[in-house]
Chain A
Amino acid sequence: MAFNGHGNDDDTTDNDETPTKQPRSSKEMSGYFRVEPNKEAAAPAGRATSDRQMPSSTARRRSDSVRKTRPPFPWFGMDIGGTLVKLVYFEPRDITAEEEQEEVENLKSIRHYLTSNTAYGTTGIRDVHLELHDLTLCGRTGNLHFIRFPTHDLPIFLQMARNKHFSSLHTTLCATGGGAYKFESDFRKMADLQLHKLDELDCLIRGMLYIDSVVSSGPSECYYFENPTDPDHCIQRPYTLENPYPLLLVNIGSGVSILAVYSENNYKRVTGTSLGGGTFLGLCCLLTGCSTFEEALEMASQGESTRVDKLVRDIYGGDYESFGNMMSKEKRESVSKEDLARATLVTITNNIGSITRMCALNENIEKVVFVGNFLRVNTLSMKLLAYAMDYWSKGQLKALFLRHEGYFGAVGALLDLLHTS
């Protein structure tokens, strides 16, 4: 599968670096989501003009074949998971005045709404720091935005799509993840939208390879931890994912899927485990009364798992029994919520690490890429995984991470839209 890739058409090289626009780190974004007033209240109803793109002056200079296969705006890719909906949106930045005049009102309104806000409703978030600038897709140049909201708020999203007359744009909505199947009829009934459903693992791999190939400036997409077994000297370092195959791709969402990838189109799902991000959050909610991933992580970062786990040697490497100390009444009473959150995080992470390591051995693969939203702002887990891979394999296995960790499925879905249209 080939994509038009990032812009090296000689006519689209206005790669203006905009460092001032670089978003702030997501680490400051933890905590509660801001409440933004709904702006979409009354979108103009009816009168959907033809959505056919009039050739713009920029586009006119491009080859006809690209133009013919190019789908109408807006360009979305969606990944509806068990916990989160991930949405990538391509914002064209090369719109000519002529084109802008032709642009229908609700298309403009969607673009404006998405790009001028960083939070949507009470729970939607745009990960500004992940935004990719001056990307060329299908001959158009623009920015790629990364947005997420909880799957249980999907009805709100659908309501908004209805209010904004999204369906009048006649766009194909490419969606992957289980929710593309589960909510297909809701999209149709509530928002009059027809989903183009895509396999989540296909999308995941395609999206990952694409993002890794287009990120050339700014922080490296792929990175690893140097000195993972030495907590004092464990440093994040960029990594170039050249000749990536074979690689073990571990996607940690609500649950975990482990794939052995031999080429872009040749992969297999080796196994999976139900002990994933959903388990961490679910148990934390039950044990500590917290309600968000960020809250749970925050607590975990302050806790001490050794008060909860039955430690025989060392939290790393040695034998220990997760929650083993909690068999004792006194110890149950003395433990803090933070300790419980920490123990849960460490237990789930180490378990994923050990299953991954076994798969790597069974499949004879040395490169492991961890992705998925469980790793979002979760340096603790990443370092634990890096440690586990390195320690247990005596340095044979390398744990790699990607900045856009949770969005590859959605990116893959977007690529499908551009490719198949």
Chain B
Amino acid sequence: MAECGRVDCRTSSHTMDKSITLPPDEIFRNLENAKRFAIDIGGSLTKLAYYSTVQHKVAKVRSFDHTTKAPSDKLYEISVQEEVTARLHFIKFENAYIETCLDFIRDHLVNTETKVIKATGGGAHKFKELIERKLGLKVDREDEMTCLIKGCNFVLRNIPHEAFVYAKHADPEFRFQTTHPDIFPYLLVNIGSGVSIVKVESEDKFERIGGSSIGGGTFWGLGALLTKTKRFDELLQLASKGQHTNVDMLVKDIYGGSYRSLGLTGDLIASSFGKSATADKEFSKEDMAKSLLHMISNDIGQLACLYAKLHNLSRVYFGGFFIRGHPVTMHTITYSINFFTKGEVQALFLRHEGYLGAIGAFLKGAEEDNPNQYSWGENYAGSSGLMSVSPEMNPMQRARSGTFDMLEMDRLDRQLVNLPLLQDPSSYIPDTMDLTEDALAREYWLYCFEDALDGVVKRAVASQPDMPEAAERAEKFRQKYRHKLQTLRHQPFAYGSLTVRSLLDTREHCLNEFNFPDPYSKIKQNENDIALRYYGKAVKSLEELSWEERQFALVRVELKAERPWLIDSYDQWLERLKGPPHKCALFFVDNSGVDIILGVMPFVRELLSRGTEVVLASNSGPALNDVTNGELQILTERIAAMDPVVQLLRTEIQNVDVMCLVVVILVQRKYEYNCLPLPSPSRLDKVLATVVRERQTDLVIIEGMGRAIHTNYYAMLSCESLKMAVIKNSWLADRLGGKLFSVVFKYEVPAGETSQFSAALTPS
């Protein structure tokens, strides 16, 4: 049940005086390529969904053919190509705008073969005729509950920090949950006018196991009768100012104190509205509204707990218009759940709860495209994010609720899964620091990103010297990203937990939005070319060293500092190297240029000569000066061509059905940055996961600050792991108890590993 009818909504002066405050073309984006519409019309809000394709510029690298053409001093050429990707758009607006919006859509819809619009929600019927007339599409109704569940499954699977617990007195009030790789089973308590309690067991299997007539409609209806206040929001406002103890009969009103033998404290409500039955006096609107709110929230919480217990479910999500972003109701529901389950069950809320019906209706209509076979990621550049729910915290909130809210999701080409080598995928948190909770860290990093913005803009312009409008686009990028940073300063929870990774992601999304696919491409190209010239020399000088000297030199090239390091388990690593070779090492690489060519590759070469196979993993899309998939492939081919050690191995592996020599398997998530190594348990390319399993990977190497420190610093793997990084940020060094350019060399063996070498590996 979605929002129930706000009957006086369309005539209320409150909604009529609003106008569309954003230019519609910034809201209904990519309409010209739109197909497949769905709409969810609730009592006060409409949610529109459509699918579009987006044309991006992407930077591609292509190897020069050194045999036929005149020798070039460049290893590869860079070209910018157009690529088309799929995007889902979801827009939420007040019902009052529905006509304006439909007009806008009709005027901008080009060339669509769409004949049908999927519709759900209580208002779908009411607006059916209007939609059909305006858009010329046939309205095809879908069952609300089915849509709701489909939408819920979709966001839980695709948006990493979708669910959160609400803690009124915490700062911030939201605590995001790492989504368990297996989202089923769960209980969804939808509090619309009434309450529906649904048990969801799999993608297609769900059952309404219960419900209650005491829900949002009871609060609204009874509240209106008691207080003469008609608007739902105003009732909540009243409630937030009231004292329920003036109206409710508490345990202490009956007992004089607590009821000790039962452990019931004096402040518990014994009888809701009990005082109004016995005391002959006037009660304030605020107090009555508060009492009513408690009564209803407690009742729903209690029923939810009873159902959760009966069906043995520990994940309970709450949604519906009673909850939708209202801190007061999230608080009272949370309180109730904590009381009735003594903390065994947590009340979970969803960031995109308001979109579930629309997403579900859309998916129903798109079944032939099978969106569920892909992975989707939230596009931070085009999504509004979670708004602060407390008006005190964010004065913009009220104005904002009268306008438009957007969610955009981009299709990732392949399915992402978790790295099979994680010790415990369900507890894996990629990010070392949660900036949502760490105010000092947040302040620092937001400052850093803002400070670096000028440089990024400059580089972006420089990366497209042939395009005269690049400067203008770069300026737009600057504005957009700066605005995002400002929003995040006020509402760090907008896109789930704020992390250095998410700040970088957001920047990449914004750059991409303005067609700057790879601002660093030229710099990387130069550095790669220069470094490559020294490869042979570097390898030669390493070979001249004794075995033990060489092992250290290989690491030293990477880390550039004298021992002892900040985190230093080099001795254990060296001991391990004296033992038998690893079967296969999975190496997550970082920067291009010197780093990859003179640091990583000689290290890899050494592993190869020991008889260890190596799988290199890099980003598919560009992020800062990280080496990308395409670049890495060319680089490794080139090195293999001039280095017999690498060459030899290439021949060996060629029979195996994998991509190339030192297997370069790339994570396919576009625009994804540092997180790629082990971004989140469900965010790794499926192919890579398969290779890891097939080749019996027994060593994972993670290199660079982004991958080994910002993320994965605490990641526990089920095989040996080596994390290497130089801390190139004094603030971070300070945090970790070291100085600028401190070195982390963290070699770990999983607990309980009974290799013959483990004795030597225990820290002394």
Contacts and interface: CB of A to CB of B under 8 A. Distances in A.
Interface in A241-268: 253-255
Contacts of A177: 254
Interface in A296-344: 308-310, 319-330, 332, 340
A358 B307 contact: yes
A324 B225 contact: no
A184 B257 CA distance: 12
A281 interface: yes
Nearest to B195: A321
Contacts of B535: none
A321 B193 contact: yes
B249 A320 contact: no
A151 B274 CA distance: 13
Contact of B278 (A83, A324, A330): A83
Given A82-B253, A178-B259, A269-B262, A278 B212 contact: no
A254 B270 contact: yes
Interface in B215-273: 215, 217-218, 220-222, 224-226, 230, 247-249, 251, 253-257, 259, 261-262, 268-273
B204 interface: no
Instruction: Find the residue from B4, B225, B302 having the highest chain A CB count within 10 A.
Output: B225
A282 B249 CA distance: 10
A278 B262 contact: no
Contacts of B275: 282
A238 B6 CA distance: 49
Contacts of A327: 4-7, 193, 217, 220-221, 224
Nearest to B193: A321
A77 B306 CA distance: 36
A274 B248 contact: yes
Nearest to B282: A286
A362 B309 contact: yes
B278 A276 contact: no
Interface string A344-363: 00010011001100110110
A273 interface: yes
A358 B254 contact: no
Interface residues of A, number: 61
B276 interface: yes
A171 to B, nearest CB: 23
B277 A320 contact: no
A81 interface: yes
Given A182-B256, A278-B249, A324-B193, A350 B213 contact: yes
A377 B404 CA distance: 55
B364 to A, nearest CB: 22
A152 interface: yes
Interface residues of B, number: 58
Contact of B214 (A277, A278, A351): A351
A351 B210 CA distance: 12
B211 interface: yes
B73 interface: no
A214 interface: no
A224 to B, nearest CB: 24
A143 interface: no
B7 A328 contact: yes
A282 B247 CA distance: 9
Interface in B135-160: none
Contact of B213 (A182, A183, A287, A320): A320
Contacts of A274: 248, 268-272, 274, 295, 298
A351 B251 contact: no
Nearest to B269: A274
A359 to B, nearest CB: 7
A6 to B, nearest CB: 30
Given A274-B272, A309-B213, A178 B310 contact: no
B194 interface: yes
Given A178-B255, A278-B274, A310-B193, A287 B214 contact: no
Contacts of A184: 256
B520 interface: no
Contacts of B272: 274-276, 278-279, 282
A321 B215 contact: yes
Interface in B1-47: 4-8
A278 B221 contact: no
A201 B261 CA distance: 10
Nearest to B306: A358
Contacts of A271: 302, 306, 340
B303 interface: yes
B551 to A, nearest CB: 63
Interface string B503-547: 000000000000000000000000000000000000000000000
Nearest to A151: B278
A324 B254 contact: no
Nearest to B288: A286
A199 interface: yes
A150 interface: yes
Nearest to B258: A181
A283 interface: yes
Contacts of A114: none
A53 interface: no
Nearest to A290: B277
B568 interface: no
Contacts of B113: none
Contacts of B255: 178-179, 181-182
Nearest to A84: B278
B230 A329 contact: yes
Interface string A139-152: 00000000000111
B475 interface: no
A347 B214 contact: yes
B217 to A, nearest CB: 3
Contacts of A254: 249, 254, 270-271, 274, 277
Contacts of B247: 282
A48 interface: no
A13 interface: no
A323 B218 contact: yes
Contacts of A321: 4, 193-194, 213, 215, 217-218, 221
B280 interface: yes
A160 B41 CA distance: 65
A351 B212 contact: yes
B467 to A, nearest CB: 56
B299 interface: yes
A65 B261 CA distance: 33
B374 interface: no
A278 B213 contact: no
B444 interface: no
B282 to A, nearest CB: 10
A271 B7 CA distance: 38
A77 B50 CA distance: 71
Interface in B716-753: none
Instruction: Find the residue from B4, B230, B276, B309 having the highest chain A CB count within 10 A.
Output: B276
A365 to B, nearest CB: 13
Interface string A174-198: 0001110111100000000000000
Given A329-B7, A355-B303, A310 B217 contact: yes
26 contacts: A83-B277, A151-B278, A178-B254, A178-B255, A181-B256, A182-B256, A201-B262, A254-B249, A254-B254, A254-B270, A254-B274, A255-B249, A274-B274, A282-B273, A287-B226, A319-B211, A321-B4, A321-B217, A322-B194, A322-B214, A322-B222, A324-B218, A325-B221, A326-B221, A327-B221, A329-B8
Given A255-B271, A274-B295, A327-B7, 8 more contacts: A151-B278, A273-B302, A278-B271, A287-B226, A320-B194, A329-B7, A329-B8, A351-B212
Interface of B: 4-8, 193-194, 210-215, 217-218, 220-222, 224-226, 230, 247-249, 251, 253-257, 259, 261-262, 268-278, 280, 283, 288, 295, 298-299, 302-303, 306-307, 309-310, 340
Closest 3 CB pairs of A and B: A326-B221, A282-B273, A278-B271
